[in-house]
């Protein structure tokens, strides 16, 4: 089955679904405890930078990771999981399953840190895998710019489309985020999305500096 080809992406989706199911049975404080609360992360970082750290400080900083598996509602979860599947499987195809997992975590954490830096005193927790998903989109765009990729054929796309057109969704998504914030004042973690895209795009450009073609990278993977 196709799911067995992308175990790390499937694992992320299963964990996110299970965590969301648990969220529905527990206190709303669960999101505050495991979500990335900017003012608390900023405070914890100040303690750490002054050499005053303990498990509570480290735990608060680790919420930049745990927040990736939390979601605010069914639509939030479904939207993220659909795009995670599209771009996560494509990144897994071209870079490998474990690289995709590492990219998910790095881009997600970078995105959350950017959001914290933009709004360091906010008491509202950052939740969701959006920053990491945007990271996949940014990485795919970077690969599409540097490598000759085949037209992606992945569910739920109706038919294969040129890689650059699909990768451009990252930029389109950021533009629509900005419009939504200005017109409706929706609580969108724009910094997390922007940070994720930049991190993923930068990772792809760095990788393609060492491997100028997809074939060169595949040769290394087969060793």
Three-state SS sequence of 39-95: HHHHHHHHHHHCCCCCHHHHHHHCHHHHHHHCCCCHHHHHHHHHHHHHHHHHHHHHH
Question: Rounded mean pLDDT of the chain?
Answer: 91
pLDDT confidence of residue 184: 64
Is the pLDDT confidence value at 185 over 70? no
Secondary structure (3-state) at 162: coil
Residue 74: CATH number of its domain: 1.20.1540.10
pLDDT band with cut points at 50, 70 and 90 for residue 186: low
Domain count, the chain: 1
Q: Which residue has the higher pLDDT, 173 or 103?
A: 103
pLDDT surpassing 80 at residue 153 = yes
Q: Two tokens at 181?
A: 């914030």
CA distances from 29 to 44, 51, 153 (A): 19, 29, 41
pLDDT band at 222 (very low <50, low <70, confident <90, very high): confident
Is residue 158 over pLDDT 60?
yes
Interval 193-219: pLDDT, tens? 999 999 999 999 999 999 999 999 988
**Is the backbone peptide bond immediately before 218 cis, with ω within 30 degrees of 0?**
no
Is the CB of residue 15 less than 8 Å from the CB of residue 65?
no
pLDDT of residue 190: 85
Residue 137 has pLDDT above 90, yes or no: yes
Give yes or no for residue 1 having a pLDDT over 60: no
Tell me the angle at which helices 7-23 and 74-95 cross, rounded to the nearest 10 degrees: 170
pLDDT at 175: 84
Check residue 211 and give its pLDDT: 94
Higher pLDDT, 126 or 183: 126
- Give me the pLDDT at residue 129, please: 96
H or E segment at 134?
helix 130-146
Q: How would you write 86-126 as a 3-class SS string?
A: HHHHHHHHHHCHHHHHHHHHHHHHHHHHHHHHHCCCCCCCE
Distance CA 17, CA 12 (A): 9
At 104 the pLDDT is 98
What residues have CB less than 8 Å from 93, skipping those under 6 apart?
none
- The model's pLDDT over 65-110, given as tens digits with 9 standing for 90+, comes to 999 999 989 999 999 999 999 999 999 999 999 999 999 999 999 9
What's residue 3's pLDDT?
Answer: 63
CB 78 within 8 Å of CB 114? no
pLDDT in tens, 10-69: 999 999 999 999 999 998 889 999 999 999 999 999 988 888 888 888 999 999 999 999
Q: Could you tell me the residue range of the domain that residue 154 belongs to?
A: 2-221
């Amino acid at each position: 089955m196709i799911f067995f080809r992308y175990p790390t992406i499937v694992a992320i989706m299963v964990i996110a679904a299970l965590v969301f199911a648990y969220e529905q049975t527990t206190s709303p404080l669960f999101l505050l405890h495991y979500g990335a609360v900017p003012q608390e992360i900023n405070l914890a970082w100040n303690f750490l930078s002054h050499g005053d750290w303990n498990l509570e400080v480290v735990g608060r900083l680790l919420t930049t990771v745990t927040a990736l598996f939390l979601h605010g509602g069914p639509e939030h979860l479904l939207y993220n999981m659909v795009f995670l599947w599209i771009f996560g499987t494509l990144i897994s195809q071209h870079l490998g399953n474990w690289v995709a997992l590492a990219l998910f975590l790095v881009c997600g954490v970078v995105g959350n840190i950017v959001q914290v830096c933009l709004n360091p005193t906010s008491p509202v927790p950052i939740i969701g895998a959006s920053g990491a998903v945007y990271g996949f989109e940014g990485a795919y765009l970077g690969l599409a710019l540097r490598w000759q990729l085949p037209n992606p054929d992945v569910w739920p796309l109706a038919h294969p489309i040129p890689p650059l057109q699909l990768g451009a969704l990252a930029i389109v998504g950021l533009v629509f985020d900005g419009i939504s914030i200005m017109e409706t004042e929706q609580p969108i973690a724009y910094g997390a999305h922007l940070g994720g895209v930049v991190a993923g795009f930068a990772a792809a450009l760095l990788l393609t500096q060492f491997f100028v073609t997809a074939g060169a990278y595949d040769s290394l993977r087969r060793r």
